[in-house]
Structure 1
């Protein structure tokens, strides 16, 4: 019986520690892609039928370099992103929400 209690405790600790982990590269990509999609939606709503493909942006890749914990639910991550074949390195702040990670502006 004692063995089962220890196993349960260790399993619970591992599961809970996963809740506070930093965002993965894929999660950062998804959060940044939401911003790109929102920006494209605004452009489409403003330009209407005059939207051309070169007016819209595409997030090609995101490479996570490192992340620093800022609070229980937020991390500042250094990433290199390729948007429309333009490579940029920057720090982005992400916060964990019920809907996953989101990029926030500070």
Structure 2
């Protein structure tokens, strides 16, 4: 009985820990790519054929660190980015972004 109880408590603690964890590097990459895809779609709708020069490309987004923010399910993460921007070219920087857990994964906010 004690073994069963120990296994049950351990399993429950692992599950609960996983529910409130910060985004992984791959989840950050996906959230940022989704955000850029949305922005690019808006540029295509607005500028049509001329949108080729208006598109942003995410070359890299690597998580440096994350800290939980005051809002539940939200983290402030420093991300090492390499982005190609319209008219500005390729830019590499480390910046802080807010990530919020949504039903379909993580979302990045400005």
> What displacement does 1:18 show?
0.8
1:77 aligns to 2:82 (yes or no): no
Q: Give the SS at the match of 1:66.
A: strand
Q: Does the residue aligned with 1:51 lie in a helix, a strand or coil?
A: helix
- Counterpart-to-counterpart distance in 2, 1:67 and 1:17: 16
Q: Distance in 2 between matches of 1:2 and 1:17?
A: 22
Partner of 2:2: 2
Match of 2:44 in 1: 44
The corresponding residue for 1:103 is 108
Aligned length: 104
Partner residue, 2:66:
67
Moved over 3 A (4+): none
Gaps of 5+ in 2: 85-89
TM-score normalised according to structure 1 size: 0.91
- Alignment partners' CA distance in 1, 2:59 and 2:73: 26
* Paired residue secondary structure (2:77): strand
